[in-house]
Amino acid sequence: MEKGKIKKEKITNKKKKLKQKRMEEGDNESKKISEENEQNEDIEATPTQRKAKKEAEQEDEVTKTSNNAIKKILEDKNLTFKNEKLERCYDFKMGKYGRIQTSFVENSPQEELVLEHVIQYQRSFDLVYGKRELMLYPKNECGLSKFICTTIRPTKIGLIELNESFEKCAKCLSLFMHYEELENPVQFPSIIPSPSNVLIWQKGDSFDISIVLVSLLIGRGKKE
């Protein structure tokens, strides 16, 4: 009984090997035919067509190499991005830029009252329209929540260009400030610093610079 089973297994293995060999021979034959067809196409193709084909192959190779390089960078788990804005805010909180005013670490009674109404509005909004992120009371440099409108402060700078027109004010600010990209382009920034600090740092993202611009325009005291 055992001998018959062993013999049957040998026959089965032999059949498998024979089948695999035939498949390999078939693959080799198909590959050979494909290569012959490509050679015939190359012979029949004009010099212009052969040149275009070669250029296409080179372009594919470059694209493949580039994609592999990008993939390697993205897969590198040790790659970290330095967020200079958060570092500046941390240094300010630690007192590196001098004494911190009370308004940065404590809200006034009026600000607290407004903040309560804003938080209640956020809750009512979520109940009616669903959970959606609204930038109503972001945190400042010291981690204190501030109503976004109180962040805008009328600001004056002794430059004539800032008082001539809206366009010149925006142009001057674009030359004066260094633009930084958002840490996440599809999310609000985690911190909104005061316009005074943004002007001192001369750096900021789109939110920071726009708040500085509005503060400067209000500070002009001129209605456009």
Task: Tell if the pTM clears 0.75, that is, is over it.
Answer: no
pLDDT at 208: 93
State mean pLDDT over 162-185: 83
User: Is the pLDDT assigned to residue 224 strictly greater than 60?
Assistant: no
Which of these ranges, 53-62, 164-173, 184-193, has the smallest mean pLDDT? 53-62
- pLDDT (tens digit per residue) in 40-64: 555 555 777 677 767 777 777 767 7
- Kindly give, in sequence order, each residue whose CB lies less than 8 Å from that of residue 144, ignoring residues fewer than 6 positions away: 104, 105, 106, 107
pLDDT at 166: 80
User: Is the pLDDT assigned to residue 162 strictly greater than 60?
Assistant: yes
What end-to-end distance do the CA atoms of the chain give, in Å? 103
- The listed range with the strongest mean pLDDT (5-14, 48-57, 78-87, 115-124) is 115-124
CA distance 172 to 162: 7
pLDDT at 34: 56
